[in-house]
Amino acid sequence: MGNLHEGHLSLIRKARALAGEGGLVLVTIFVNKTQFGPHEDFKKYPRTLKADLAHCRQLGVDIVFAPEDNAMYLDGHSTYVAEERLAKQMEGASRPTHFRGVTTVVAKLFNLTQPDIAVFGAKDWQQSAIISQMVDDLNYPIRIVIAPTVRERDGLAMSSRNRYLKPAERAEATVLIECIRLAKRLVRDSQAPLSAQTLKRRLGKQIASRHLAKLDYIEFFSPRTLEPAKRVGRGTHMALAVFFGKTRLIDNGRL
């Protein structure tokens, strides 16, 4: 959605490596209104197209497709693409219309740009799984590649929404990666799989110790199917969402 940071730029570099010097790398930039809820930050979401284009030129991007809103959604638009299984939990439970907007716009962008390979970031793990499912279900001849999450020096996952954080909130936002690291350590040191509910309570206390943090969810699941896990062991995936004031941040990791 633009406001490109090092996380996005890593996806462009990955795309170039996959395409080779003879291939074309195309970046789509579009702040998609249909994936925002009614009280979310669509209007204030950072739009920095001039700077984004400069980043793309510097990295040798061949094409930037940055359509206007009325080109993507005509008057009377009433057709949506909805994944019905993976999209119901985690982000889907907290933001009920979010993934319908994501799959709709990605399907439209795939139709318009016809890529051979599309690169997504692991930071939005559930989104990447849903896009992969959509590609399989709708017979798109596209290979989906998931690139690693890029983090700040203190471990906070890079996000355009990080700029919303006040200094005190930013200082506490590292609790997301701290929870992932704690869960990894507990799983590594345990002789047997751990109870998901017990682990959630332990991590919830970690988040509650931050005065400005408010937990939305912590979930443990299969990284491939997103099936919730009652017992947590090596290879289980973890995701969480935490509010800092009005800013909601997400992160995830393999345990």
The domain locations on the chain are 6-147, 160-254
pLDDT value of position 97: 94
What is the CATH number assigned to the segment(s) 160-254?
A: 3.30.1300.10
pLDDT, one tens digit per residue, over 24-42 is: 999 999 999 999 998 899 9
| pLDDT per position as a tens digit, 152-209 | 999 999 999 999 999 999 999 999 999 999 999 999 999 999 999 999 999 999 999 9
**Known active-site residue 8:** yes
Domain 6-147 top-level CATH class: alpha beta
Instruction: Give tens-digit pLDDT for 113-127.
Output: 999 999 999 999 999
Residues 6+ apart with CB under 8 A from 29: 1, 2, 4, 49, 52, 64, 65, 66
Active-site option among 5, 8, 55, 211: 8
